[in-house]
C-alpha cells in the first residue's frame, strides 16, 4: 500500500505568483518526461542515458507540480472552505462520463 503525505506550504502568494510557479514546474515536468521518453527509446548504448535517473527526475518534477497545485487548492479553500468536496464529486462524475476506468483510489487526508 502506498501511503504518501504532501505538505501544505506556509505562503501567501498572489495568483500571479501561483501562475508563474505552475508555468515553471510544468515546463520542468515536460522536459523531464521528454528526457525519460528519449532514454527509454534510445537503442544506442553509447548515448543511452541513465533511465532510472531520468525516472527519478520525472517523479521529482511531478511532486513539484503537485506542490504548486496544493498551494492553489489551499488558497481557494481559504475563501471557499467547503468547495473542494463538491468539486471532487463533479470531477469524478466527469471522468466516469468520459469513460475512464479507475485502477485504484489514492486517499488524501488532511491532518
SS3 string of the chain? CCCCCCCCCCCCCCHHHHHHHHHHHHHHHHHHHHHHHHHHHCCCCCCCCCHHHHHHHHHHHHHHHHHHHHHHHHHHHHHCCCHHHHHHHHHHHHHHHCCCCCCCCCCCCCC
The footprint of Mg ion (CB under 5 A) covers 25, 28, 61, 64
Shortest approach of Mg ion to residue 60 CB, angstroms? 7
Question: Which is nearer to Mg ion, 65 or 77 (by Cβ)?
Answer: 65
Shortest approach of Mg ion to residue 27 CB, angstroms? 9
Shortest approach of Mg ion to residue 81 CB, angstroms? 29
Amino acid at each position: 500500500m502506498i501511503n504518501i503525505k504532501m505538505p501544505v506550504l506556509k505562503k501567501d502568494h498572489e495568483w500571479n505568483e501561483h501562475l508563474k510557479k505552475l508555468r515553471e514546474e510544468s515546463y520542468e515536468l515536460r522536459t523531464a518526461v521528454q528526457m525519460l521518453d528519449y532514454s527509454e527509446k534510445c537503442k544506442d548504448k553509447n548515448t543511452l542515458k541513465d533511465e532510472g535517473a531520468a525516472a527519478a527526475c520525472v517523479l521529482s518534477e511531478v511532486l513539484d507540480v503537485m506542490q504548486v497545485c496544493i498551494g492553489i487548492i489551499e488558497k481557494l479553500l481559504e475563501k471557499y472552505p467547503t468547495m473542494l468536496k463538491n468539486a471532487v464529486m463533479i470531477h469524478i462524475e466527469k471522468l466516469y462520463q468520459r469513460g475512464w476506468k479507475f485502477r485504484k483510489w489514492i486517499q488524501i487526508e488532511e491532518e
